[in-house]
Each structure stands twice: as C-alpha cells, then as structure tokens.
Structure 1
Amino acid sequence: MARSTSVAPRRYRRRLRSRIILSFLLLGFGLTAIFAVSTMVLRARIETQLVEEWLEDETRNFLDFKREHPEPEALYSPELIELYIFRRDSPNINPAWRGLQDGVYDTADSPDEGREGRYKLSVLHDGEWVAFIKYNYARQALDQQQLLVMLGASVVLLTLLAWLIGLWSAGRVMSPVADLARRVLAFGGREQPEKLSPHFAEDEVGQLAAALDDYAERLTERVTRDREFNADVSHELRTPLAVIRGAIELLLASPDLPDKMRQRLERIERAEQQCTHLIAALLMLSRGERGTGATDARAVAEQLAESNRAQLGRKPVSITVEGQTEHAVDAPEAVVQVALGNLIGNACKYTAEGSVVVRLEGDCVHVEDTGPGLSEEDAAHLFDRGYRGSASGGTKGGGIGLSIVTRLCELYGWTVSIAPRPERGAVATLCFR
C-alpha cells in the first residue's frame, strides 16, 4: 500500500466577485421579468373587462336609441365600432352570428369576406329585434405588441443596469478582501510579518485581518520556540554523544579488551551512530531543509543489516542484502540511515523466524520479511503517527518510526509503501524518486 496524503475533495465554487455580480444580474432580471409579465397579465385582464363592459353598454344604448328614433335617417355612430340591427328572422344576419346568445364574443372575419381581423362582437336580443356591435381591436393588439416590445427592452436594459451595479458593487466589496490576500501572500518567509489590521477599517475584513494577525503572532511564537528547542536539543545531545563516541574509540583501541566486552562496546557505538543520524534527520525535518550528498544505499543497507544481526541474539532470523553493488542517493547519509533503518528494523522486530532480505533494484530498496504479514487495518494506518500494528504484541516502540520515514519521504520527494507478500510476511519498498 503506497503512502499518500489524502486531501478532502474541494467543492468547486465561483469566485466571490463573480457570485456577487451574478446575484445582482439574476436579481435585476428576475424583478424586471416578473414586473413585465405582471404588467401584461393585468393589462390584458383590465382591458378585456373594460372593453366587454363598454360593448355591453353601447349595445344597450344603441337599442334604446333605435327605439326612440326608429326613422331610417337616425344614425347612431360611436367611434371604432360597427352597428347592426336586424329582425330575428332577417336573412341579412351574418351566418356566423346566428344562434348567438346575449353577451360578448371574441371572433374573426372570415377570409371570403375580403378582410381578416379579430374583433369583439356584442349581441343583445330585444323582442323581435337583435342588435350586433362589432368592435375591431386590431389597433389595441398593435398597441399591446408595442407594449410587449417596450417591456422586453426594459427587461434587457434593467438587467444590464443590474449587471453594471453588481460589477461596481463587487469591486467595492472585494477590493479590501483582495488587498488582504495580497498582503498575506507578501509575507513570504518573514519571521516577523507586518501587522495587517492597521491597513483596514473596523468591518468584517478588519476583523479577519485582526484574527490573522493574532494567528500569525501565535504561530511565529510557536515556530520560534520549536526552532530554539531543536537547536538546543541538537547542541546539548551532540556534546554527550561526542564524549561517548570518544570514550568508545579509546576503549576499542585497547588490545587486552575481552571479546564479550568488545561486542558490547560495538553495540554502544552503533547506538551512538544511530542516535547521531536520528538527531541530524529530525533537525532537517524541523527546519524543512533538504540536505545533499552522495550516499551509497548498498553500503548503508549492509551496515544496517550488520547492526540488526547483532541485535537479533538467538532469534532464528537471517538478514541478507542482495541486488546492485552500488547505488548513489542524493541525500545525507543520516537521512538514508534513518529511513532505511526503520524499515529494516521493523522487519527484524516482527519476524520471529525465517529471513529478512534487503534487495536493491533500480532506484528502489525492497525489504522482504517472513513475519506475520499485514491486516487491512494495519495497511490503512501503518504510517499514522503513534499507530502500532496488530502484530506488535509486547514489542517496545512508540509507533513513530514509520511516521518519521513518511515525513522524510515528503521532504525529499521519495515514496514508501508496505504491502503483504502473497505467501507470507510483508514487503516494504522505499524508492528514491
């Protein structure tokens, strides 16, 4: 299972400026569109109601007029309408009008009459007489079309105005936010960043700037404290380690040293070297610095194999190094020692019997063991800080070795993974690329 840093997927969102402009645009379009539709609906309803009431009144007035003035020369001539009065059985009645009851109807001229147009027809029966008033509302339909065009133009213009207002408002609203972002990006790697809050008004952006100032101050204080602690630890530990190394060298130089004592001193010497390398690697991690060098991974693997052989004691486990005779890695020896040493040390720790094989192939080092293998839970959390596998049993350790390896790999751009072997055990792979 390859170690990878999982990041929750970020939901895509438009920029805040774009969202403000779009909000104004939709608001302007929605309001003007609702206004236009409402205007058309109300106009149509009111116009229809008024015209129908007017036609009914005119038809009644027409009948009253003819009743009072039955002579043929008496003409009732209202504007925009045509008046007809017939006896019920008159053959001159338009066939399309026959059988219509009292009321107002929407109808149209037939093409064979030589003209076409929609009109309203008011019908009123009075004894043996029937009156028709024909009102052609083509002019009103034209006015309605013109109103529709004007309302459409108003929707477009007001939407454009809302877009311009949104553009201006977004610029005003986002200007301090953009300024804050530029100032934060300008911090760079400064140890004492400039205060942000004095540059902004006491509004929401000013509150955010003050919160960032407080956070930056606390973060700077913590980083400074950690850096000083790392430097102090590095200095204070290196001094006694140098004393230990010097004393061991003097003792090992003695020709009368018993073999058992020599083995113990050599073990102390290896522990001192391991501690020195670990301090150097941790110091690089704390500073985020990538050291350079030309470390022979084969030589480091053989040193680590020899060191772990001495620690196995009577454990029936063999350690072998196979593959390339030389492999240069662009990193300090301390870093390669810590990264590869944790993988080999874990393989030896969890292998009760069998073998541990360190194989160098290309840019990768594979550490294969015949231990208990990995469960799915172990494979998912093995590189988490403080996690100890289900097969750890009573072994000692804080569960931070593989976490350190992961951080070193992130610093140098390497990859590390541990997966179960098909037959038995597990294989850890460290690739220097």
Structure 2
Amino acid sequence: MRSRRKLRFRLVVSFALFGFGLSALFAFAALNIRSRVEDQLVTATLIDEVNNLNQQVHEHPDQQPRFGIVEAWTWSDRTIYKAPLAWQSLANGVHDISEKGADGRLHRYKLAVEHKDGIYSFLRYDVSRDELGKQQLLFSVIGAVFLFGLLSLAIGLWLSRKVLKPVSQLAQRLREFRRLGKAEPLAPEFADDEVGELAQALDDYAARLTSMVERDREFNSDVSHELRTPLAVIASTTELLQGSPDLTPKLAERLKRIERASRQATELIEALLLLSRAERRGPTRGETTDVAKVAGDVIESQRPQIRDKPIAVYLDVRTPVSVNAPASVLAVALTNLIGNAIKYTLEGEVRVEVDANGIEVIDTGPGIKPEDAERLFQRGVRGEGAGGSGAGLGLAIVRRLCELYGWQVAMRPRGDRNGAIASLVFG
C-alpha cells in the first residue's frame, strides 16, 4: 500500500497555503494600486502647478507667482471686509468648504482660519484631487476583490478536485463493482490515509456480507432439497393410492386434496428459493406459461375453502395470454390473490378475469379502504376482519415476486358495491 500523508493534513495544508497565497496576492495588489494612484495624482498635480506658474510668469512678470494647490491670504480687522463673506464669520480651526475654482468647476477645500492680535490669516488647500484619488482607489479595490474572488473560485475548484480525487476514485470503483457484479479488494489501491481506512472498512464489510449471503444461499439450498424429498414421496405415494381399484369416493377426494397441497407446497418452495437468490428464471426450454390454465388450477385448488359458503367462483378468459415465467411463480401469486378473495368473501361471488394486460380478481367481500390498499403488501399486515391463522406474508411475497419479474400488483376498492379488486399486470 502506498504511503502518503493523511487526507486531513493535506486539506489543512492546502487551505492554509491557499489562504496565505490569496492574502499575499491581495496585499500586493492593494499596495500596488495605492502606489500607482498616488504616483498618478502627484504627477498630475505637479504638472498642473508648474504649467500654472509658467503661465503667471508670462502674463505678469513683475508679480510674485502664486501656488494653486495651497493659497494664503491675510487681512487686518480694518480690511477683513475684503475677504469672502462666508469666511468672515468662521472660527479658528480647519473648515471644509466648497467653492468654484478658477476653471469654473466646483472644488472642495480645507480652509485653515487663525484670528489673533487683529490679524486674520486664511490658508486654503485644494482636496479635490485627494477625493478623486480615493474614488479611484475604491474602484480599483472593488475590481481587485472581484478578480481575486474569481481567482479563488478557480483555485478552490482545482484544489477540491486534487484533494478529493481519492474519494472520487473510491466511488468510481464501487460503481464499477456494482456494474460488473463482482467485488475486488479496494484497500491495496489507495493510500494509507482516511480514504484508505474507508476502503479497508468497506472490504471488511463486503467480506462479512459475502459470507452471510453464501451461508444464506447454502441454507436455502439445503432446506429446499430436504423439503422437496418428503414432498416428492408424498406426491408419488398419493399417485399410487389414487390408482387403487378399491378406492372409495370419499378417500379419493381426500387424496386429491393431499395432491393439491403437495403441489402448492412444491411451488411455494420454488418461488421462495427464487426470492432468496433474487434470481429471475423463465420456464424450462424457453416455454411460456398459460395464465388461464394456471388460474383454473388455482381456482380448483381453492374449492375446499368455499364448500360451506354461498360463494360462486367464475373464470372469465377474455383474451388468452402467456407469460415468460415458471408456472410455480404464477401459481403462488394467484393462489394468494384468489385465496384472499375467497377467504374475505362470506357470500356472493369471486370473478377472475383474464385479458391481454393481466388478471383481475373481483370479489364481493367487505372491501378495503383506499388508504390501506398499499399497506396490505407490507410484511405482517393483514386485512380487517381476517379470520383464522396467517402471518400476513402472502401479499408481501406476491409483491416481491412481481418486482423480480417486472410485474405490477395492486389492490383497490370496488366503486359499484362492496368488495375489492386485486390486479396483476404483466410488464
């Protein structure tokens, strides 16, 4: 197994380096933007000021030139009226004012005022360029934030793929195992880190699960074999007894019941064995099963249940249909659906209708509630008014068989009168 650093350590280091690098880049960008804006402002101010000085010298060579950025005025108590009216009432200190400059545009100034010993001193500084610099700096920083946000997103995506690559590889290998239907050891393919520990845990779980499934399959095979042997003996003995010349009608009827019960037990064992293996198997030699024939056999096997009840059972074959499934599987499903209809119907009729889509079993029993229709297919759930013995597993077995063969089974109440309708649709 390859030895690498822990995944947690790699995550911490990756994000630490990412945060440090991004902070360093942002600090560098902020300093660079500030330096460029400051240099641009200073250069523009100096150029404007030297042009202004040159213009003053050419226009008034006999006068002392004045600076445009910082200007100063002084007046006495007698000449203060010459100062701008808004300045005359200002107290000592620094004030923010806005006035039109020589270019006719509105400028912002800092005005320092000092009144002492009858002298008024005013010093005005133009801060318009500083405001422009702050605005440029703000726009530049906002642009840098968006730029570094996109950069961090790209780097984060790259780091996530890089750091979480082992997890993705583990998920991919698990999907391949599910597709191929076989499992191979995972741990040797991964590093000695958290992902490797997870792969080892999955290997251990798969080994325990495989062992349990193998034991379950062996148990089912052994039980199936052990049960089939006595059932075969019962069936052969019953067949021999039915051929006796001195057989009375009453004894012949009982032997037929034994034969039907033996056949049903054999079909049920085969269906349960298929469910335990989750194995879908068609009829032998590619043959199909006649649905109407199986339905008729099931109805005949249920005749003893209606001997003491005023119930009529009808088989209505509207369209012959065959399914690609063993007769035993179909017989188990129909035995539960038709048997339940007969069990819950105290009087009236049970009609079994066969058409091209499937089978419907319609009874005149007490019916079911719409909200209970789906719940009846759960293990251990029995219908209201169920009498006699039973564990509520019949419809659950039917549902599992239908899922195995792609069929659809459902229960719903009748709309015209009391009763229920069980439908089996072949996919």
**Which category describes the TM-score, using the shorter chain as reference length?**
0.7 to 0.9
Counterpart AA for 1:421: R
Q: 1:357 aligns with which of 345, 351, 361?
A: 351
Partner secondary structure for residue 87 of structure 2: coil
Unmatched 5+ stretches in structure 1: 1-19, 44-74
2:126 to 133, 136, 156: 136
Choose the corresponding residue for 1:414, options 399, 403, 407. Answer: 407
C-alpha contact (below 8 Å) 1:298/1:324 kept by paired residues = no
**What is the aligned counterpart of 1:181 among 160, 164, 171?**
171
Q: Deviations over 1:96-148 (max 9, x none)?
A: 43433333232322378724322222233335443222111233234324433
| SS of aligned partner of 1:186 | helix
Separation in 1 of the partners of 2:158 and 2:364? 70
Secondary structure at 2:185's aligned position in 1? coil
Residue 81 (str. 1) matches residue 78 (str. 2): no
Deviation, 1:346, is 0.7
Matched, 1:303 2:297: yes
Could you tell me how far apart the structure 2 residues matched to 1:103 and 1:189 are?
Answer: 84
Which of 392, 396, 409 aligns to 1:403? It is 396
Give the equivalent residue in structure 2 for 1:289: 279
* CA distance in 2: counterparts of 1:146 and 1:240, whole angstroms: 97
Please provide the CA RMSD for this pair: 3.2
Contact kept, 8 Å, 1:105 with 1:121, in 2: the verdict is: yes
Q: Quick one: distance in 2 between partners of 1:110 and 1:127?
A: 31
Q: CA deviation at 1:166?
A: 1.9
Q: Which amino acid aligns with 1:296?
A: D
1:208-264, CA deviations, whole angstroms, 9 ceiling, x for partnerless residues?
112211210111011101111121122222222222111111111223211111111
Q: How far, CA to CA, are the matches of 2:108 and 2:67 in structure 1?
A: 19
After TM superposition, the score normalised by the length of structure 1 is 0.77
Residue of structure 1 aligned with 2:185, choices 195, 210, 222: 195
- Residue 247 of structure 2: which of 252, 257, 263 is its match? 257
Per-residue CA distance 1:342-385 (angstroms, 9 max, x = gap): 10011111112221111123312111112122235633421111
Q: How does 1:3-402 map to 2 (within 5 A)?
A: 80-87=69-76, 90-110=80-100, 114-126=104-116, 128-188=118-178, 193-293=183-283, 294-324=288-318, 326-375=320-369, 378-393=372-387, 395-402=388-395
User: Retained in 2: the 8 A contact 1:102–1:125?
Assistant: yes
- Asked if the contact 1:298/1:325 (under 8 Å) is kept, the reply is no
**Counterpart in the other structure of 1:424:** 418
The residue identity in structure 1 corresponding to 2:330 is V
Q: Which whole-Å CA distance do the structure 2 matches of 1:174 and 1:257 have between them?
A: 79
- Aligned to 1:391, the other structure's residue is in SS state coil
The letter of the residue matching 1:416 is: V
- Supply the distance in 2 between the matched residues of 1:107 and 1:178 (Cα, whole angstroms): 65
Per the TM alignment, residue 337 of structure 1 is displaced from its structure 2 partner at its CA by 0.7
Give the aligned length.
Answer: 372
Instruction: List per-residue Cα deviations over 1:66-90 (Å, max 9, x = no partner).
Output: xxxxxxxxx9989941111234563
The answer to whether the Cα contact below 8 Å between 2:275 and 2:400 also exists between their aligned partners in 1 is yes
Instruction: Check conservation: 1:320, 1:356, Cα contact below 8 A.
Output: yes
Name the SS for the 2:164 alignment partner: helix
Identity across matched positions, percent: 49
Q: Kindly indicate whether the alpha-carbon contact (under 8 Å) linking 1:191 and 1:220 is maintained by their aligned counterparts in 2.
A: no
Gap change, CA 1:189 and 1:221, over 3 Å in 2: farther
SS in 1 for 2:177: coil
User: Is there any run of 5+ residues in structure 2 with no aligned partner, and where?
Assistant: 1-10, 35-63
Q: TM-score, normalised by structure 2?
A: 0.78
Whole-Å Cα distance in 1 between the matches of residues 142 and 333 of structure 2?
72
Alpha-carbon distance between aligned partners in 2 of 1:127 and 1:430, rounded to the nearest angstrom: 113
Contact 1:378 1:390 in 2 (8 A): no
- Higher RCO by CA contacts (8 Å cutoff, separation 6 or greater): 1
